Structure 1
């Protein structure tokens, strides 16, 4: 799900990180790394055990043992968006557009470029006739402009990156205007407009303001404010409003895809999952998860982004090549393990060195521009 940085909390004070809570704000929230991995794993299982075969156009391998549970795994993306709302506001708390821009480019680009390239090459080599890709599609995908230019993604999971980028742009506008300290009334306005656009189906507003996922970003950002500045009645009301909108949009979306997947979704299960997401963040925001955060989940969190980007198309190609010759259980879990291992290698050997180089280069370039 795109992507989401879990960098350390800035040590300098800002409008979003006041001095009255120094002990909490100096702690890296490693529990968010665990949440990111669990969200990614839920999406992987959704694709491998349900979505690929349920549509009938992606994977030839059914996995009925997990299908009824796995079909709810798409909600992992919604959890990603909540995490993003929290950590992106954390990153923006420096109130520095340059720092924010560099952090997003460094976080998004290296792993995406590597995973997109691998997916493109493997699709060309082994994906035919079910899957195809061409050079123009690949090049446009590499620029992150596919959604804007109407070019289909090489891997369907890329759609969430475009949602993330829209959220980044909103935060960038506030940073450019030096209004990040006014984020709270902006979140209230975003929630009200989103709820109106969803209920009345204002399509242009829905697209521009990503209203079908706005509730998750709003909730994550509000929980960050609670974590950084404390609980207030307006923030509680904002979280409650976000929960109501999130539940409405999640149930509405599930109803819209039932015919596509030839299944039925239980609204009570969807609502319960959303509530669990919100309760988990409430515990994090009120510092009730410190014991979990003391464990080192950093590595799991780091490989989440390449795992999300890499798993779907390549996994389906593996299934289509190997099934039914290879046992379905061995094939599914072996592919999950392969994707996790590949994601670790990509993060350690390629993404991290590229990110360091890009960060130095971008910082140097911006400093030169200021000097000139």
Structure 2
């Protein structure tokens, strides 16, 4: 393994199409879990394992696709934040997450509300108990207040959001090789030390169950950027060892939830495959995968994940008895992919640039007020009575006048 140069100049990475493909694989694993792998006796005409005999045996492990999402997220966030300002990082995350999420919350709530369960039809859980619950869901922070998610799959977004806030600390100081490795070491140390103490507020921040995946993704990007070293691979191996132990808890929980005894060894093999696939991307072994459809697949992943569960379950339940299970499953997955594509084209493509531009102006206004030597003056004040900006001197002029007065 060759040595690295931690002070290597920042470079802007091209899009890694293989990561987009992995995102879609993760999303489809989760979709298969919700449509086939769970123990919802009311979703299909007969128990899932009777209708989808062989697919069921794979789909029950589909919930572990979330772990692949987290590894890829660590890789991508580290890659996209290198050489960027904190404001750039925050804008990119807000623009990436919120426009599609707001639409998904509104659409899912509407569909579930119009199809809310009756006494003899409990195929969908109507989780919203008040207007306040609904409005708080638009922040993505509802779990922090103990408020139910509109759609239960949104719990992973809260985990992602907390990861972004933690990594923003590194971005604020400037992303360097040394700082990234220090961040990874400290986060994993905290996950190991506090994971067994069961202190709610600490666990909420440290996320011991998911830290190994985020950190592994970050470290694999360092392999991609700087090359292989014993230190990097040793830290990645440590993440994998911690993750495999957490799988014991995940397997037990999922076994109880789906009503089927899952095998830890199968889950472990799946997670090993996830680590291996992202490692292959990091080492450049997938550089040949440059098909355009992979980029499209990556664009579909987020809206597909946000929209598929409750809306898809409602559709399957409404068509029960009208269409045979296998064709109905294919139609539902295809329909969700089409809905994801339309959502991407009609929501993310037109509105994300507008939101990015508006946020950029807002952050730039703060930057003009806070010069290189610290705060100098507030932005211009808006004269509400006249509907125009008040005649406030430019901060640079104020600064020059102040220095002139001192000389006098």
Q: Is it true that 1:30 corresponds to 2:20 in the alignment?
A: no
Cα pair 1:49 1:70 within 8 Å, conserved:
yes
What is the CA distance between 1:346 and its match in structure 2? 0.5
Which position in structure 1 is the counterpart of 2:255?
A: 258
Which position in structure 2 is the counterpart of 1:98?
A: 87
Deviations 1:151-185 (A, max 9, x none): 10010000000000000000112222446551102
CA 1:26 to 1:97, structure 2 compared with 1: closer, same or farther past 3 Å? closer
Q: Is it true that 1:186 corresponds to 2:170 in the alignment?
A: no
* SS of the residue 2:62 aligns to: coil
Deviations 1:190-224 (A, max 9, x none): 11221233355454432221110001001000000
Tell me the TM-score normalised to structure 2 length.
Answer: 0.82
What is the CA distance between 1:245 and its match in structure 2? 1.0
Which position in structure 2 is the counterpart of 1:12?
A: none
Q: Is it true that 1:365 corresponds to 2:362 in the alignment?
A: yes
Q: Is 188-197 or 129-138 further displaced after alignment?
A: 129-138
Deviations 1:81-105 (A, max 9, x none): 0000000011221241000000000
Cα pair 1:113 1:142 within 8 Å, conserved:
yes
Cα pair 1:251 1:271 within 8 Å, conserved:
no
Q: What does 1:1-372 correspond to in 2, within 5 Å?
A: 18-19=8-9, 26-51=13-38, 54-56=39-41, 59-61=43-45, 62-64=47-49, 65=52, 66-129=55-118, 130=122, 131-132=125-126, 133=128, 134-178=130-174, 181=177, 182-199=179-196, 201-293=198-290, 296-371=293-368, 372=379
* SS of the residue 2:15 aligns to: coil
Aligned CA-pair RMSD: 2.0
Consecutive unaligned residues in structure 1, runs of 5 or more: 1-14
Which position in structure 2 is the counterpart of 1:7?
A: none
CA distance in structure 2 between the aligned counterparts of 1:99 and 1:157, rounded to whole angstroms: 28
Deviations 1:290-313 (A, max 9, x none): 112355411110010000000000
Cα pair 1:17 1:229 within 8 Å, conserved:
no
Cα pair 1:95 1:180 within 8 Å, conserved:
no
Cα pair 2:212 2:239 within 8 Å, conserved:
yes
CA distance in structure 2 between the aligned counterparts of 1:175 and 1:100, rounded to whole angstroms: 8
What is the CA distance between 1:261 and its match in structure 2? 2.1
Which structure shows the higher helix fraction?
1
* SS of the residue 1:293 aligns to: coil
What is the CA distance between 1:323 and its match in structure 2? 1.0
Cα pair 2:83 2:175 within 8 Å, conserved:
no
Deviations 1:209-262 (A, max 9, x none): 111000100100000001011111110110000111111112221113322322
Cα pair 1:306 1:347 within 8 Å, conserved:
yes
Deviations 1:123-149 (A, max 9, x none): 111233333235332211011121112
Number of residue pairs aligned between Structure 1 and Structure 2: 352
CA distance in structure 1 between the aligned counterparts of 2:279 and 2:101, rounded to whole angstroms: 31
CA 1:329 to 1:294, structure 2 compared with 1: closer, same or farther past 3 Å? closer
CA distance in structure 2 between the aligned counterparts of 1:203 and 1:341, rounded to whole angstroms: 40
Deviations 1:301-341 (A, max 9, x none): 00100000000001111122221332111221111100000
Highest CA radius of gyration, 1 or 2?
2
Tell me the TM-score normalised to structure 1 length.
Answer: 0.89
Which position in structure 2 is the counterpart of 1:8?
A: none
Cα pair 1:205 1:211 within 8 Å, conserved:
no
